[in-house]
Every structure is written in C-alpha cells, then in structure tokens.
Structure 1
Amino acid sequence: MSQLLEPFREAYRNMELLPLLTETALKKFWVEYGTETIEELEQLVEDSPSGDSKIIFAGHRGCGKSTLLAQFGRRMADKYFVVFFSISDSIEMSDVNHINILFAIAVRLMEEAEKQKIKIKPSIKEQFYKWFAKHTRTEIEESQAGVGVGFDLFKIISGKLKADATIRDEIKQEFNRKISDLIARINEIAAVVQGASQKEILVIIDDLDKIDLGVVRQVFEENVKSLFQPNIRVIFTVPISALREVRMAGTLTTETNNQIVIMPVSKLFKQGERYINNSEPISEAIAMLTDVMYKRISRDLIEPEVVKKIIIYSGGVLRELVRITNQCCRICLRLIRRKPDDLDIKINAEVLQEAITNISIDFDTRIGNADYELLQQTYQFFTPNDPKEQRFLDLLHGLYVLEYRNAKLWYDVHPIVTEILQRKGKL
C-alpha cells in the first residue's frame, strides 16, 4: 500500500462539502473570516428594541454562511438561549412551508431545553409532551414527563416531522385554519424556557437558502406575517437571489424593519481586473483562503502555485474552493491505486486541469443558448440587462454568476464558466 494513500484519504475527507457545525470541526478547520458580518448580526440581535426581532441573512450558496452562523450561535450562547438548526434536518426540503417551519421551531425549542436540562416544572413539560405527541402521532406514557426522557422523545418527534409526509400534511391542514393556535403554543413554550433559563431566546434557522425560489416566495412573501409572529428573535436564511426580486426584497425590508444582512463573497480582484493579463489578486483574500486550504490538506500533497490557481478558480466562494480540491484528491487517489510505487503523486497543474474539466462538464450540462447570452452580457458589463429576470436569478442561485460588493454592487461570471464560454467562442 502506498504511503500516500492515507494522507490523501484524510485530505479528501477534510474536503467534504459540509459546513463546520461541531465544536471539534470548528477547532480543527476554523479560519477567521466574516468578522464584519458577525459584528453586524450581533449588533442587530443585541440592540433590537424588542425581544422579537426577525433578521434575514443571505449570501451565495457555499460562501460559508452555515459555518459562520454556527460560530455566531456559540458566541451568543453565554447571553442567549440559542437554538440553531438546519431546516433540512427537520423537514423534507421539497415540503417546506411556513407552518412546518413554525412547528419545527416549537419542536427544536423543547429539544434544546431538554438537551440543556433546563428545569421546567414536570406538569408543564407533560402538557407540552402530550401536545406534540398528539400532532405527530407519537405514543407516550404518563411517566415520560420524567427527567432524561424528553430529549429522546423530541428526537423521535423531529424524525417523524422530517420523514412522515402524512404528519406534515396533517399539521399543515390543521394549523392553516388556526395559525394563531400554533403561534400561541410557540410563545408559551418560549416564555417557559426563557423563564427557566433566565436567558432571552435566539433561534437561528439554517439552510432555508437552499429551497427553491418558488417556495421562498410562498414562505417569505405570501405568509411572512404569520412566520414572523412568534415573540422571539429569529434569524432566517434566504437565497441571495430572493433579494434581487423587487416584491420579495420590499416585503422583507418592511417586515424586518430593514434588518437584512448579506454575507459577501471574498473578492479576489477589483471589478474588471481578473481579465487583465498579469493582474495580481487581492493579497488578504488569497492569504485567508490559502489558510483554509492548508488547514485541510498537507503542504506536501499540493504544489504551492496550484493552491493559488484553485483559489482563483473558486471565485472566492469557499464551497467552490473545497469542491475543486476534493475533485483533485479523488483524481490523486485513483492515481495512487494505479501506481502504488509512485511517491511523487501530488496535486499539480495536470491534476487540477482534469478536475476543472470534470466540473466544467457539470456546469455546461445545465445551461443553453439563452443562458450564454445572459452570461456574455454579465461578463462584459458586470450586470445583466435585467437583474430581476428569472433566468438570471437561477444562474445566480446556481453559482454561474457571482455577486460582489464593495463601494457598489456588481456581478461576474464564475471563472470555470468563463472558460466554458471562451471555449465555445462566446467571449
């Protein structure tokens, strides 16, 4: 067996496309980034004139929002009773609506209270247990108000909410007619937990930015008033493309009192400089992303100049940085099996080119002529004719187009997609 096999296996595992949610993962891989974004979130949470503010958090898929929110939740845990959860762990993503989001908040509040062993009177806990059990068809015994049983019970209830479409449909049908009853129950649970913990509540709901735009409209435009009614602080994630729609952005601005935080992509070049020969990327961004790389892969496994190339190909998006390197590790692991005696295998320019070709094919299979025109225009003018056009929003959502912010808002075509356009003679 090659001595390179295990080091590359470890790097491959480290390059999984997963956020850093556990304390162990954060300690191992965390690199300081998004400081201004964390400060902005903290200001909105801390300085809210009431305890029920609603905050919208948006950004490109893969820009590091989930990891940042997990870190933010830990940072706020000394002052607040923090409930952080991914909607994808609570509800089937194709079946998300405002009612089951609210029901998931109620479940997760109780689950976290049980996990932290918050002292709630047994009679009140039993009343909550029975209410949840009734709506999720979970059988409980009278003794389940005892210490230590509740956390397991709510794990079962969470599992049913995610896996059982019939239960989700029944919850929707019941509370669609009396949403005020569900909100009253959330407020009751929140008041009990807040009183017992002596901390105000902060709920952070991750991965709502991954739902389809049509569902986002249904949740955050058509039913936003119901969703925002509970008397607790909540941070909701939404796709960045949703904030390019005039009606949606207007609704969210009004309903949150303009409490919207957008996490920017790491800008590697100033506007237009990426296309200039021999232009140098912004050193601070390169240094931060290089740090990310070397936290996950040994320097011995990758040529230094290739690290910089991967960063530039990523467009500054953390997810893309990890995805490209993951693809490179896969190629090297195959080479190691093919040539077990070759100890010079590492991620070099040739391996990177093969990885970029593979990713290019994935990008290219999902776009057509109409998209090429939009991408050409964005490449040339740093914005399309109509940033609100649905197809452009889809390209933004799918990372074909990246949004950058400095003194002004501008767009660029993903570097790998740029090469596809060049090969096709579109640029």
Structure 2
Amino acid sequence: MVRKDCGASEGSGLEFGAGFWAIVNLAGKVKTQATTREVMRRVMKPRLSDLIDAINAIIADAERELGKKILVIIDDLDKVNLEKGEELFYKHGAELTQPVCKIIYTIPQPLLFSNKIRQIVLQYFDGRVELHNVRVKKRNGEVDRSSYEVMREVALRRMEEDLITEEAMNEAIKSSGGILTEFIRIIRGAANIANMEDRSRIEEGDVVRVVTDIRNDYIRILNRDDIKILKEVARTKEKTDEDRFHDLLFSLAILEYANDEVWYDIHPATKGIIERVEAGEG
C-alpha cells in the first residue's frame, strides 16, 4: 500500500499519511498519549481538509477493492460531557459529514434539547433515530409485560436460564428502568456476588445488593434541589424548565420514554432516596 508521509516536526513518533494503517496507528496514539492529542490539535487543525481528502481517498480505494459500500459507526460519543458534545457537533458539523461514506454518530440524548444541535442536524445530517429506553412501566404506572419479555430475551441471549431465578430476573428488569446498559450492569454485578458466595444461580437478594450500590451512587451526586426536580418529574411525567434537568437526564437519574409522544420518569433507584428525604432521614 502506498504511503505518503505528511510529516510532523513536533511530538515523538507522531507521523501520519494517506495509507489505511497510518490512520489506524494515529488513532491508537491519540487514544493513549495525551501529548499526542495536544500535538494533533495544533498540527491537524489547519490541515483538516487535507486529512479529509486522505480519508476520502482511502474510502474510495476500499470500496473499489471490496466492491461494497462502507458504513462507519462512531460509538461512545454519547458518553462525552454535554459541553464537549455540543462543541463537537455544533462547531464541526460540516467536517463530520464530509467523508464520502455513510456514518452513524451517537449523540448524548440531552443534546437534543439544544436549539443549536437541532439546527446542525437539519443542516448537515440526513436525519436521526432516537433510541428510547425500553418502557418496562407505562406512564400510568402499569407494568408493561411485553417490554419485560424484551429485557428477558436480552439477558437469555447472554446467559443460560437456570443461572438466575425468575424473581431475580424480574427485580433486575424493574430496577433497570428499561436502560439496557444498566440492566446488563445489574445482572453482571449480581452474578459476581453469587459467584463470590459460591452459588450457581443469581438470587433476588443479589440483585437488591447491586441496586443498593446504584442508589448510593446517586445519593453522592444528588442535592436537595435535584430531589425537588425528581419529585416533580415523578409526579407529572413531564420535563421541567430547570437547566439541571438536562444534567439529571445525562446522569440517568431522569429517564426518557416514548409512546406516541415523549414522557419522563425517574430512575427506580432514586425513588428510595426521595422516600428517605420525605421521611426526614436524608
């Protein structure tokens, strides 16, 4: 494969070119070396159009050789903080869409409340797909049995059914609030507890212990004003006007669901915190 070195006078070992492996090697260095990231910002920013041209050349060569169209998925951008996420998509929306292939970017859900981001999505991107949490409970509080089956299937694609009791499975589904990552985290944590106690099956008490740890995590980050917002959301199932609402949504203390229209509820682990506050214990 032909390699064309663009060169870099700063930063030990920082070198990139138009070849595929050069891009891969650069990505590895960027992830592991803080100094490389700083140098990359200074060196790459004024040459961004050259990099995009190089990427497009790689895409064209790859599609010609493979006889297939390339789809790139940029994952984990939904985990960056809101300020960085808004900066990335608002200031660099044009650049993000210049590679000549299909690209899927993940985006933090609270950014959808930003008018700036909505403008960028309409201007530069073909559209968006919102992946809402699984609605394990309906807006009126009634359990959604079909969603329970979806969550159950997710678990049983990863584990044998006899490794968990039915009570433990239901508790894990309920306590997850329909967040798949949270559900898997609960099952994994409960499995570790059972394993440490030399048991071959996850029991309901194992799940409860994991959920208690999650509740304690929220106790550490929530203040009394947050509790007021959570109480209001739990009561109305609507968003509030406070800026802090977005932060609570980002931290998953508040969860978004959708039927025909969007509605909100609070993370099941936070309900015990509210009850404690109301009882004057917290």
Q: Which category describes the TM-score, using the shorter chain as reference length?
A: 0.7 to 0.9
* 2:209 counterpart of 1:354: yes
Aligned counterpart in structure 2 of residue 262 of structure 1, from 127, 130, 133: 130
Q: Does 1:203 align with 2:56?
A: no
Deviations 1:207-242 (A, max 9, x none): 111111111111101221222223322111111111
How far apart are 1:136 and its partner, in Å? 7.8
- 1:248 is the counterpart of 2:110: no
The Cα offsets for residues 112-136 of structure 1, whole Å up to 9 and x where unpaired, read as: xxxxxxxxxx4xx233xx3478898
Cα distance in structure 2, aligned partners of 1:329 and 1:193: 43
> Among 62, 87, 93, which residue is 1:218 paired with?
87
Whether 1:420 and 2:267 are equivalent positions in the alignment is no
Q: How many Å separate the matches in 2 of 1:218 and 1:266?
A: 29
Q: Provide the secondary structure at the position in 2 that maps to 1:250.
A: helix
Question: 309-318 vs 282-291, which deviates more?
Answer: 282-291
Deviation at 1:155, TM superposition (A): 5.0
Task: Answer whether contact 2:14 2:36 (CA < 8 A) is retained.
Answer: no
Q: Are the counterparts in 2 of residues 306 and 352 from structure 1 also a CA contact under 8 Å? A: yes
The TM-score normalised by the length of structure 2 is 0.86
Structure 1 stretches lacking a partner, 5+ long = 1-121, 274-278, 337-342
Classify the secondary structure of the residue corresponding to 1:410: strand
The sequence identity of aligned pairs, in percent, is 28
Name the structure 1 match of 2:191: 329
Q: CA deviation at 1:393?
A: 1.2
2:157 alignment partner, SS class:
helix
Aligned counterparts of 1:186 and 1:154: Cα–Cα separation in 2: 8
Tell me: CA distance 1:227–1:295, structure 2 relative to 1, closer, same or farther (3 Å): closer
Partner AA of 1:242 in structure 2: L
User: Which gives a bigger RCO, structure 1 or 2 (Cα 8 Å, sep 6+)?
Assistant: 1
Q: 1:136-147 to 2 correspondence within 5 Å?
A: 138=13
Is the CA contact 1:136–1:157 (under 8 Å) kept in the aligned structure 2? no
Unaligned runs of 5+ in 2: none
Q: 1:184 aligns with which of 48, 53, 57?
A: 53
Equivalent pairs counted in the alignment come to 277
Distance 1:139 1:380, change over 3 A: closer
Q: Cα RMSD between the aligned structures?
A: 2.7
Cα deviation for residue 348 of structure 1 reads: 2.9
Equivalent pair of 2:168/2:205 in contact (CA under 8 Å) = no
Write out per-residue CA displacement over residues 158-191 of structure 1, whole angstroms, 9 at most, x where no aligned residue.
3222222333222221332343222222222222
Change (3 A) 1:284 1:192: same
Corresponding position of 1:235: 104
Any conservation in 1 of the 2:8–2:43 contact (CA below 8 Å)?
A: no
Q: TM-score, normalised by structure 1?
A: 0.59
**Pairs within 5 Å for 1:16-415:** 122=1, 125-127=2-4, 130-131=5-6, 138=13, 156-257=25-126, 259-273=127-141, 279=142, 281-336=143-198, 346-386=201-241, 389-415=242-268
Q: How far, CA to CA, are the matches of 1:176 and 1:211 in structure 2?
A: 20
- Tell me the CA shift for residue 426 of structure 1: 7.4
